[in-house]
A and B are shown apart, each in its own frame.
Chain A
């Protein structure tokens, strides 16, 4: 059996059921294999825990007040960082995308700042702001700015010039054209940028915790750092990583849903770039 191109846009109910079934079978087979490798002794249990142990720990974490406090802290840092990034990046993107002179002038700065990953700045920002929520939000915002900024600019490039010219011909000013044509038409790109930024934000927030440990405040990263120091508890680390994956998928779905709700005129989303 061979695939022909991408998935067809509308799958029948039966085809969808088959896909779900196969996905679940694959998942079960993977877990079974991991379990067998561990219990047969091929992988030493002192090195990698059994799959069943990891799943049991993950279930236990869902009821652990300490883990839930850390989860809430990660969510708070994620929300504050992402909101800051959007508040900075969308207006900047609107300016860079609609004023060609500013764009080519700042392009070099953007190109040289963007390759510096946020985790590289952890030691500097830790000394500058001191550990805590402020440092977390600053680093998350720095990392999350780029996808939103670039996607906003791409979105403005994609605006129908005829619509802009029409409004201009009717005597609308630059601001009015941006507000009535450019922003609504770039909005789906901005949503895509925020979705990309959301996963970046989770990675950065967990990365900070893993690197600096508990002194930096609460969060899933700090939880993982706790579980890795002194007597490393790999099962707990893997369980926490499992929940971090679930969190990422859930937040991604939430933003996609919010985008569809806020922009009902948009049927499909542009490709993810940035």
Chain B
């Protein structure tokens, strides 16, 4: 508790120092935090209570951005997890495909942003596909690793008792895969935000990145900072959400480890 208090205190002190410095220098590039927060409030969070205080600008920009992130991640999970489990459990299949997959991952996803707009034409569908493409790699490769880590003795026992495939997957393979899967998911969540911003900066009709593009075109640095701070908060919140789910889902895993070690 004390450590958390210190942490917030330091953050508050940092903001206060920035505020003092910015009001003193009046640098156009570093507006004071109070101005940024005021802009964020005016831009996005001063709406009517019936809309959860969201302004029309928030519902037409923040929500589409978040929707693209979630849609892309959902596709990445739907593709990466089953494929990863299948490849992780078959040494032959992964031997054939793994070099290809590792090379696929080594190509920076940002390089493909325009390819997706050509293939899916400009719009939300191409942005979702682009985010899904980029975020599938960490989930897929980590799931392969996780599925491979199933305890050999447990796998043999399950086979000796002729456990049906369905329960072998749900009772043995998925639980063993989860820790690695979450490690991959955490990487993918931060990556999804990056890809969302890149696709919106390159060309989009709405979204947080679109608003930042407009702000930078108008030399509206306070507006630009509002977007940066919002994306920082979203990144922090998404990561915290995944950590929370992981903590909840993997409670048994930590318990089991405490028993054995």
Contact = CB atoms under 8 A, between A and B. Distances in A.
Contact of A115 (B89, B100, B103, B239): B239
Q: Name B's interface SS.
A: helix
B204 to A, nearest CB: 12
Interface in B84-110: 88-92, 94-100, 103-104, 106-110
Contacts of A175: none
B221 interface: yes
Interface stretch (A123-131, A134-142, A183-191): A123-131
A5 B98 CA distance: 16
Contacts of A40: none
Given A23-B95, A241-B111, A112 B11 contact: yes
Contacts of A113: 232
Nearest to B101: A26
Given A22-B96, A47-B119, A234-B118, A119 B111 contact: no
A241 B190 contact: no
Interface in A1-24: 1-6, 18-19, 22-24
Contacts of A48: 119
Interface stretch (A62-70, A152-160, A206-214): A206-214
A117 interface: yes
B197 A120 contact: yes
A208 B175 CA distance: 40
A23 B6 contact: no
B112 interface: yes
Contact of B149 (A1, A6, A30): A6
Give the size category of B's interface with A. 35 or more
Contacts of B88: 3
Interface stretch (B41-49, B73-81, B212-220): B212-220
B16 to A, nearest CB: 13
Contact of A124 (B7, B198, B225): B225
A207 B108 contact: yes
Interface string B146-157: 001100100100
Given A116-B232, A207-B198, A248-B106, A126 B91 contact: no
Residue from the set A23, A106, A126 with the largest chain B CB neighbour count within 10 Å: A23
Interface of A: 1-6, 18-19, 22-27, 29-30, 47-48, 104-109, 111-113, 115-117, 119-124, 126-128, 199, 202-203, 206-207, 210-211, 220-221, 224-225, 228, 232, 234, 237-238, 240-242, 244-246, 248-249, 252
28 contacts: A2-B89, A3-B89, A5-B149, A5-B152, A6-B148, A23-B100, A24-B99, A26-B96, A27-B100, A29-B96, A108-B8, A108-B10, A111-B236, A115-B235, A115-B239, A119-B198, A123-B213, A124-B224, A203-B110, A207-B198, A210-B202, A211-B198, A221-B110, A232-B118, A238-B115, A241-B112, A244-B107, A248-B107
Closest 8 pairs between A and B when the two form their complex, measured CB to CB: A115-B235, A228-B114, A23-B99, A245-B107, A123-B216, A26-B96, A3-B91, A108-B7
